[in-house]
Homo-oligomer: A and B are copies of this chain.
């Protein structure tokens, strides 16, 4: 596996002090993803968990739906290639390759990327709740978890949690990649996502929700801001969206009944 960080000579200025020192910088890796014989995209990513990234990206984009669709995944780290082979080609052909990410019509969101029609998707109805102190505890742990970020300041993180524990954790230079790595791991390792929580360091946009909408996850919790579409899609899909979890503060944007105060 490639190194995830690289060291550079840097001139560091701090007030009146100037020192030349080695600094640790996050690596950026180009992974070109093939689905069967189709070149799908080149992702600029952190070179770790690349099988999960490949599977998760295809899942998030609606190009594969479950593990059983996948025949084989090969990663060629030298060439920067990921190839996912499926048993059938049909789903792929119909899906390739929608450029339109979202089709808002007269301010109504009628479809998400890749033809997911959120008005047709049944909202999540789970009655699961979480205590606000559990959210703070999870975020405290989240803040201490990212190893590459600690040394480089250059990554986003995502975690899959239950109310008390982290089940999976990922880091990537791209906030979308970090989410895809989690969902890819869920698929390939048969990890259930029902009633789970997605925590993210990044902002919550329509693209974030598009990924989450492929699962039945009822909680999206972020340190950062949501967009209007992130809120509107969460509202429609029955997802509890929480942003700006910092210290002992948070904003609950949708379905706040799931948070016990």
Contacts and interface: CB of A to CB of B under 8 A. Distances in A.
A154 interface: yes
Contacts of A206: 28, 44
Nearest to A21: B251
A201 to B, nearest CB: 12
Interface in A10-46: 10-15, 18, 23, 25-30, 32, 39-42, 44
Nearest to A203: B154
A20 to B, nearest CB: 9
Contact of A205 (B14, B41, B173): B173
A228 to B, nearest CB: 4
Interface of A: 6, 8, 10-15, 18, 23, 25-30, 32, 39-42, 44, 78, 80, 99-104, 106, 132, 152-154, 173, 203, 205-207, 224-231, 244, 248-253, 256, 259, 261
Stoichiometry, as copies per complex, reads 2
Contacts of A173: 203, 205, 227
Nearest to A79: B105
B28 A154 contact: no
Contacts of A256: 11
Contacts of A132: 13
Given A25-B226, A227-B25, A252 B152 contact: no
21 contacts: A10-B251, A12-B251, A12-B252, A13-B132, A15-B248, A26-B225, A27-B228, A28-B206, A28-B227, A29-B104, A30-B101, A30-B104, A39-B99, A39-B100, A42-B100, A44-B101, A44-B205, A44-B206, A78-B106, A80-B104, A173-B203
